[in-house]
Chain A
Amino acid sequence: MTGAGTWSLGESDYERINEHLTELLKECNARCALVVDRTGQLLANAGEELSFDPTVFASLTAADFSANDELAKMIGEPEFASLFHQGEKESMYLADVARRVILVVLFDKRTTVGLVRLRVKQTVQDLSALLDEMFSRAPGQADKGGPLDGADDEIDKLFGK
């Protein structure tokens, strides 16, 4: 284990994240919500079906956020905890969650940024607590042994010696 990007997401955690997202969407009348980790990987999404490639969207979200983090530091802020991109019809609101993941909410004229911002606060708190719990759990307890344990031969077979 090299400790760079390695971690895992269990099914029950995934479901709990999804519940929080669904709840948020109901309360603020937004179109959809996504959770993306800091390395640009999509963890979960809820709401309307996405009309774009979510993998690409996730990687750009992480890049957007980390570039803005650097900009924040340059002007003497520790971070921008949230970002708001306003479009003519569609807008997006991004919020940091415990410096581990990013919550993205896409919304249109059916709601307002004020309401979204207000509701996101609660979801950020809920997700932070959930992530703290996920990461404080003894490693490997939930999923003893990863799927690749002892899979060297299979890996060789897939990629060639």
Chain B
Amino acid sequence: MINYASREINCKLVYYGPGLGGKTTNLEHVYGKVAPEQRGKMVSLATETERTLFFDFLPVDLGTIRGFKTRFHLYTVPGQVYYNASRKLILKGVDGVVFVADSQMERMEANVESMQNLYDNMSQYGYDLTKLPFVIQYNKRDLPNAAPIPELQEQLNPGWEVTDPAKQRVTPDSVNEGEFLISQVDGTWIERAPYMESIALKGEGVFETLRHAAKLVLKSMN
């Protein structure tokens, strides 16, 4: 929402993904690293065992553009399958989505299920994930049982067909050198969501993900 009275641009960014994938850890790192005057309080509605029950919330200022403060409201959803009703509520009015995948091999099925659930919940609101700012974060890259990126890409980010002729041109991936966001595969134009690798527990890749998603959100507003 663009507020001309307070000269603020407010955006809602939702961290989505399977339980224990590292969504809350992403926000905790941002909270710990951003200067207090550039962020608000972090609110976590969690169970006693620190599993997200409803959501985490953290407002951060990411700088000023043309005299407007860009304020991002970061939310995480509860990843546990059981909490779908709450998860869906948090998507209301979303401006951009970060999908935090758990790279561990044995969490592949949970990742796929959560991605499917994201598509389902978005479409129930009439939102199209292929048209909304959307970034995938492959987290826990530090673990020995982390699946290789190509495998994660194949399972979680196979891409969608680009039907708009104006977009049918080879587009390099600015994050992962030598890769493409839009390219032709067997004669069909395919677009994939941008992805980044991370070790949220150590803060690696956390701000890269946030900045990238924030950039896409702001660009979608002009």
Q: CB distance A6 to B95 under 8 Å?
A: yes
Which of B4, B45, B54, B62 lies in contact with A14, CB distance below 8 A? B4
Q: CB distance B40 to A55 under 8 Å?
A: yes
Task: Chain A residues near B40: list those with CB within 8 A.
Answer: 53, 55-56
CA distance A150 to B5 in the complex (A): 21
CA distance A2 to B54 in the complex (A): 25
Q: CB distance B86 to A67 under 8 Å?
A: yes
Known: A38-B92, A56-B40. Contact between A63 and B55, CB under 8 A? yes
Task: Chain B residues near A15: list those with CB within 8 A.
Answer: 5
CA distance A14 to B43 in the complex (A): 27
CA distance A56 to B221 in the complex (A): 24
Q: CB distance A4 to B3 under 8 Å?
A: no
Cβ of B166 under 8 Å from chain A: no
Task: Chain A residues near B63: list those with CB within 8 A.
Answer: 158-159
Cβ of A59 under 8 Å from chain B: yes
CA distance A7 to B125 in the complex (A): 17
Task: Chain B residues near A118: list those with CB within 8 A.
Answer: none
**Stretch binding the partner chain, chosen from A21-29, A105-113, A140-148:** A140-148
- Rounded to whole Å, the gap between the CB of B215 and the closest CB of chain A is 4
Cβ of A10 under 8 Å from chain B: yes
Which of A2, A8, A156 lies in contact with B132, CB distance below 8 A? A2
Task: Chain A residues near B59: list those with CB within 8 A.
Answer: 55-56, 59
CA distance A40 to B62 in the complex (A): 19
Q: CB distance B41 to A53 under 8 Å?
A: yes
Which of A37, A44, A56 lies in contact with B43, CB distance below 8 A? A56
B1-50 interface with A by 8 A CB criterion = 1-6, 9-12, 40-41, 43, 45
Cβ of A133 under 8 Å from chain B: no
Cβ of A11 under 8 Å from chain B: yes
- Rounded to whole Å, the gap between the CB of B46 and the closest CB of chain A is 14
Q: Can you show 20 pairs from A to B with CB atoms below 8 A apart?
A: A4-B93, A4-B132, A6-B95, A6-B221, A9-B3, A9-B4, A15-B5, A39-B93, A44-B5, A55-B73, A56-B43, A59-B73, A66-B89, A67-B86, A146-B222, A147-B2, A147-B66, A148-B219, A156-B215, A158-B215
Using CB atoms and an 8 Å cutoff, list the residues of chain B in contact with chain A.
1-6, 9-12, 40-41, 43, 45, 54-55, 57, 59, 62-63, 65-68, 70-71, 73, 75, 85-86, 89-90, 92-95, 125-128, 131-133, 174, 211-212, 214-215, 218-222
Given contacts A6-B220, A6-B221, A152-B219, 19 further A-B contacts (CB under 8 A): A4-B94, A5-B95, A7-B2, A8-B3, A8-B4, A10-B4, A11-B5, A37-B1, A43-B3, A59-B57, A59-B59, A59-B75, A63-B54, A67-B54, A148-B68, A148-B219, A148-B221, A151-B218, A159-B62
